[in-house]
Structure 1
Amino acid sequence: MIHPGIALLRLLHAAVPVTTLARLGEWLGSALYPVSPTRRHIGLTNLRLCFPELTEAERRRLLKAHFRALGRATLLETVSWWGERAEVEGLTRLEGLDNLLPYLGKPLIWLAPHFVGLNIGGVRVSTEYAPVVSLYAHIKNPEVDRLMLHARTRFGGSELYSRQDGIKPVIRAIRKGLPFYYLPDMDFGRKDAVFVPFFGVPAATITGLSRLAKATGAVVVPCITRWQDGGYVARFYPPWQDFPSADVVADTRRMNAFIEDRIREMPEQYFWLHKRFKTRPDEKRKGGLYED
């Protein structure tokens, strides 16, 4: 039996125009803000650490805007789940193709940080350049998990691997010429991570981008998805020169600095509800920086 929430989302997708769906998502995000104390605490803690120059009132306004952006993206993901190809393509415009096209069919990594349109952009680029390869973490709700996997593989038979599968299947896929849609900007703990600044705060950051580029000879072309002018834009940035270097820590710091620059352009669209600073250099501080 289909979960009532999934059934409602499918009904909304079928019955409501995209513009209305976007507004409904923003309303949903606004409604969730006051009733989500734990997520609100995480978000405000992240914003205090990353934007100490803002007042508390400014950070609260920014977090409210983030909830609206997240709600909008959540409802518009239904287009990725059930929309026809033309609908998926119409929701998200591609930009910066001159930065991408010379590297198609060669080892290639798309650096795709956690902006709220991440999944929408990933499905969109798969309509053009599948098969692609990506890693994923299972979602607790099995129906949502199946929908997410379906969306990411429905165009062109892309390859998805669980993080538990290890990195070897991804390396093989990159070497075959499949673009790797890579999301390395969360706190995954100490394994394969170094502490480098994220908005000036030491953050456990995995070194996978540098190590994968070295192991495969892949070019790194960032792909950032943002909400702009009533739709999404998935923009490919210029390929990184002199990457990887001989210094994996410097490479990882470079990645964080690039992500910071993109966040400053649209701070409400970055995913602030993740405990980015949970893992600390001092192993005794188990709660990270999120303790009251």
Structure 2
Amino acid sequence: MSLSKATFLIPALRLAGKLPLRGAQLIGRFLGMISWASKSQLRKVTEINLRICFPELTNEQRQRMARSSLRHTGQTMMEIPLIWEWPVERCLELIREIEGEELLVEAKKDGRGLLLLAPHLGNWELTGLYFSSRYRMAALYSPPHIKEFEDYMIRVRGRMGSELVRGDRRGLAKLITLLREGEVAGILPDQSPRGKGNAYAPFFGIDVRTMTLVSKLLRKSGAKPLITYSERLKDGQGFRLVIRECEPGIADPDPVTATTALNKSIESVVREAPEQYQWEYKRMRHRPPGEINPYYPNRTC
């Protein structure tokens, strides 16, 4: 993206950030329905993912879920400018209830670090803002291709003091140090990692490449893992923050055992609000060598 595009994008986000929640969500649902009606690539990927992950549903049920998923993804995209541009206090007021807060209290009792896993479910930007408002926190991120937008993103995400660190050696060392000091780190755990050093583990019954970073951080820091998401309530009423325990074995030295537990933890919360998961992402594109690429059936991985 060129500088001229960045110069346009940031003011556009600031303008969208002036919308009320209901207005932003209405526009988001409309964009999602356009994506559905136009038979977009997003719709195609969503339908493929749901066919793989929910074989027990009828075709009609999966179609309804796909339409709903596109609407929710549209809402998420339109909500992000609000979370980035609204005053922090106004954003936090969107969280109407918290489920599992006792797990946070228990996790922080003994002074251990806390590793928060926030999959692409509901509004993950609001989730990150909530925890950075409560704790000294660092979050792993992938830098965008454009420096000017990266500066803007770091500023708005870090306005409560949260530190964004890159996924390189220096960034990972920072996360480990923070966790060892009893603080909090956040990761989006459901991205398809690139490169070596990862493992293949089942996600909704299909083996996919999965990050081993979570188990490595846990073993090196002794931190407590929890999985969390912000569920969108109906009719613009706000969000419900949900905090859950992770599956046993997530810190196991065996990479397959650990990544299997990680994916099972993610799958468990996704099943609680499946329409709000970002099914438009090609999560299944990295499979064991020789397996069919579900998005390009004429290709093998």
TM-score by length of 2: 0.85
How many residue pairs get matched?
287
**1:48 matches 2:54:** no
Q: Which residue number corresponds to residue 27 of structure 1?
A: 30
Q: Which amino acid aligns with 2:28?
A: G
- Per the TM alignment, residue 217 of structure 1 is displaced from its structure 2 partner at its CA by 0.6
Q: Which amino acid aligns with 2:17?
A: H
Q: Which amino acid aligns with 2:231?
A: R
CA RMSD of aligned residues (A): 2.4
Could you say what secondary structure the match of 2:200 adopts? Answer: strand
**1:57 matches 2:60:** yes
**1:81 matches 2:84:** yes
* 1:253-286 deviation line (CA, Å, top 9, x unaligned): 112112112111211111112221111212x56x
| Match 1:205 to one of 204, 207, 210 | 210
Cα distance, 1:242–1:56 mapped onto 2, change above 3 Å: closer
Distance in 2, matches of 1:92 and 1:147, equals 24
Q: Which runs of 5+ in 2 are unaligned?
A: none
Distance in 2, matches of 1:260 and 1:102, equals 24
Q: Which amino acid aligns with 1:279?
A: H
**1:176 matches 2:154:** no
Distance in 2, matches of 1:67 and 1:219, equals 33
Q: Which amino acid aligns with 1:49?
A: I
Q: Which amino acid aligns with 2:277?
A: Y
Q: Which residue number corresponds to residue 103 of structure 1?
A: 107
Aligned residues: percent identity? 29
Could you say what secondary structure the match of 2:139 adopts? Answer: strand
| Match 1:269 to one of 276, 283, 297 | 276
Cα distance, 1:218–1:184 mapped onto 2, change above 3 Å: same
**1:250 matches 2:257:** yes
TM-score by length of 1: 0.87
Q: Which residue number corresponds to residue 121 of structure 2?
A: 115
Q: Which runs of 5+ in 1 are unaligned?
A: none
Could you say what secondary structure the match of 2:74 adopts? Answer: helix
Q: Which residue number corresponds to residue 157 of structure 2?
A: 152
- Per the TM alignment, residue 55 of structure 1 is displaced from its structure 2 partner at its CA by 2.9
| Match 1:37 to one of 37, 40, 57 | 40
**1:291 matches 2:283:** no
Q: Which residue number corresponds to residue 259 of structure 1?
A: 266
* 1:55-76 deviation line (CA, Å, top 9, x unaligned): 3333222122111111111111
Cα distance, 1:45–1:142 mapped onto 2, change above 3 Å: farther
Could you say what secondary structure the match of 2:232 adopts? Answer: strand
- Per the TM alignment, residue 36 of structure 1 is displaced from its structure 2 partner at its CA by 6.1
- Per the TM alignment, residue 215 of structure 1 is displaced from its structure 2 partner at its CA by 0.7
Q: Quick check: 1:99–1:239 contact (8 Å CA) kept in 2?
A: no
